[in-house]
Chains A and B, each alone.
Chain A
Amino acid sequence: MSTTTPEPTRDASTPVDPTAASNLPSDLQDERLIAQSGVSGAVRVFFSRLRSGDLGALPVVIGLVIIWIVFQTLNPAFLSSRNLVNLTLQSAAIGTIAIGIVLVLLLGEIDLSVGSISGLAASIVGVTFVKSGWPLVVAILAGLAVGAIIGISYGVIFTRFGVPSFVITLAGLLGFLGLQLKVLGDTGSINVPFESALTKFAQQAFLPDVVAYVLALAVVAAYAASRIRANARRSEAGLSTTPVTAIAMRAGALAALLLVPAVVLNRDRGVSVMFVVFLALVVIMDFAIRRTRWGRSVMAVGGNVEAARRAGINVRRIYISVFALCSTFAALGGVFAMARLSSVGQSSGGGDTNLNAIAAAVIGGTSLFGGRGSAYSALLGILVIQSISNGLNLINLQSPELYMITGAVLLLAVTVDAVSRRSRAAHGRA
């Protein structure tokens, strides 16, 4: 029994699981743990995780690199600063919708109506702000409130009557499209004035170069500080700590990940404020999912709803809150899309908005089966989707190719998810 096991004499300072913040003397006592130390150990751990099907974000990162290489070869303008700035502007709206999709997927549910909700919310903001002259903030809040109410209704119908979310939201897809047309009225489309704060925010607001760099460095500093603080608390609690060199290396990698794009984007217009807002939402939701009781409950419900219920989690409230958040993110994404195009019309939120948002979440690595995924899959997934769309545009291929290629990528992503899920089961990983 472990209480009587003599302390192993091996060096216990190396993380056994690179993703766990925690690798500690008191948890490394079991003699069956395979010690992996140094860089080669970390590499071995990494590959053993891959073999067992714990792929994480790797497939999507590889996919993104391949896509970028292909398009860069076909058209050297693809990776130009100018085009990459466009890419960030194009990504923010549907990326925001995809954050909501990630949340419902974590529960193992789906929302097919995010496109319609985004169009409806944008129409409401357009009508109230442009036609009725409401203050912009009030108009936006009204749009978001409508999104939230729709989501709460979905949650109530789902939890009260047990109707599958697939069907509820399919009904919503049609119903709210109709409502959007009603709201827009006879004119059919509304143009947002170019001088309004909304349009400026989406089209002309870029971080000053220095601010972008300072922000990036501040994020890196905050990351390093939180890891060092965690180390201090862990060693106080008698748990193992991450070596300082490992923290330094990760902080360095993060710095490169933030500063290189900032430099590239700053050679053109700069870092879009709307894109920064999207990134901030991703980070906030990642924190909410991983570090709060609510997020833990969401993962538990997605993993085993009966276990969550027996653990005293209010499962109904979790479902309702997630559906509400998803619809609210959809509404916000609709407002972003309207702001970027400075208009809202009958086709807003239609077409491929819906499926692109869902595809982004799935391509980004969030499992369709619930309980696995991360807010960052919204970011990675939307970059893949928009890179394809943007790149095809640059080489003068239009909708037919776009639809076929996006469809193929989505199928590939879901297949990877399903196969790696089976492999994880066989290798005893969740």
Chain B
Amino acid sequence: MTATTSPPPAPARTAVLSLRGISKRFGAVQALSGIDFDVNSHEVVALVGDNGAGKSTLVKAIAGVYTPDEGTMEFDGKPATVNSPAEAQRLGIATVFQDLALCDNLDVVANLFLGRELYNARSLDEVTMEKESWRLLRQLSARIPSVRIPVASLSGGQRQTVAIARSLLGDPKVVMLDEPTAALGVAQTAEVLNLVERLRENGHGVILISHNMSDVMAVADRVTVLRLGRNNGTFDVSQTNAQEIIAAITGATTNAVSERASRREQSEEQQ
């Protein structure tokens, strides 16, 4: 842990989600050990790490898919536990998983509102849901020809857009995006990054899991690096560069160059 330099939160930012000492074992594999992780409102935190670093496990622990073996979680200043995805959702944690979790046999509207359908007097309020779907999709500048076609007929990028749009319903405090730009074209990637910034402006805390360093540097405020199931540093994006983060990801942080960089960073901070 050579570069743990959590920046003081800006006045407008309040801690929404903080994890302390999260551990998770799968049989003989210690997938996570003693992870600390914080997200504030009005902030984009990138979660990066190599394959097998524990990113997905941490995401699933936050989303309620896995229950951590050890550790505590605070949401909005109060201790919280999430034992199911539904609980996480109720708490205000929305997740867009890498596999998107869409129902191919349902249309776009049904997928967007799955689990929180709107009702009028006695049946589903399809008109309002469809109108709201268009509003959400337009907000993302989404290019989806019709919201009344099954999701099976959409392209990968369109499906990603639907999944992200869905996470915004229900007004979550924290939005987790797992590799949101991995399947997207150039324009759509830019749109998603715009969207991430819009989420931040609206006061959401955003957790961005990504392998794409340029995306991370473009939108994140802080970067938390995981390596082999442990924290390997948290960086303030305005005071770091891609090389330093990559070094932390690959475990090259013990070499002379990165040690110098972190020493310099720490001394700058003390000034």
Contacts and interface: CB of A to CB of B under 8 A. Distances in A.
Chains A and B are bound partners: yes
Interface of A: 1-3, 16-17, 20-24, 26-28, 30, 32-33, 230, 233-234, 237-239, 287, 291-293, 296-297, 299-300, 302-304, 306-314, 371-372, 424-425, 428-430
A239 B107 CA distance: 17
Given A3-B138, A233-B127, A429-B152, A310 B105 contact: no
Interface of B: 63, 65, 85-86, 89-90, 95, 97, 100-107, 110, 114-117, 119, 123-124, 126-128, 130-131, 134, 137-138, 141-153, 191
A371 B142 CA distance: 27
A296 B124 CA distance: 9
Given A16-B146, A293-B119, A293-B124, A310 B95 contact: yes
Given A296-B124, A371-B104, A429-B150, 12 more contacts: A22-B127, A32-B145, A230-B127, A237-B131, A239-B131, A296-B106, A300-B110, A307-B101, A308-B115, A314-B86, A371-B103, A425-B152
Nearest to A235: B127
Contacts of A1: 141, 143, 191
Contact of B150 (A2, A16, A27, A430): A430
A304 B102 contact: yes
A143 to B, nearest CB: 29
Contacts of B153: 428-430
Given A230-B127, A237-B128, A293-B124, A306 B101 contact: yes
B138 A303 contact: no
15 contacts: A2-B142, A3-B138, A3-B141, A17-B146, A22-B130, A27-B147, A237-B131, A291-B123, A296-B114, A296-B117, A300-B114, A303-B105, A304-B104, A311-B101, A311-B115
A293 B110 CA distance: 10
A121 to B, nearest CB: 30
B181 to A, nearest CB: 17
Contact of A310 (B101, B106, B128): B101
A308 B103 contact: yes
A299 B101 CA distance: 14
A22 B126 CA distance: 9
Contacts of B146: 16-17, 27-28, 30, 33
A291 B126 CA distance: 9
Contacts of B138: 2-3
Contacts of B130: 22, 24, 27, 237, 239
Contacts of A303: 103-106
Given A33-B146, A239-B131, A430 B152 contact: yes
Nearest to B134: A26
Contact of A299 (B103, B142, B191): B103
B104 A291 contact: no
Contacts of B116: 312
Nearest to A288: B123
7 tightest Cβ-Cβ pairs between the two chains A and B:
A430-B150, A311-B115, A430-B152, A303-B105, A1-B141, A303-B103, A291-B123
Contacts of A309: 85
A154 B138 CA distance: 45
A239 B127 contact: yes
Contacts of A233: 127
Nearest to A290: B124
A304 to B, nearest CB: 5
Contacts of B101: 304, 306-307, 310-311
Given A303-B106, A304-B101, A310 B126 contact: no
A76 to B, nearest CB: 44
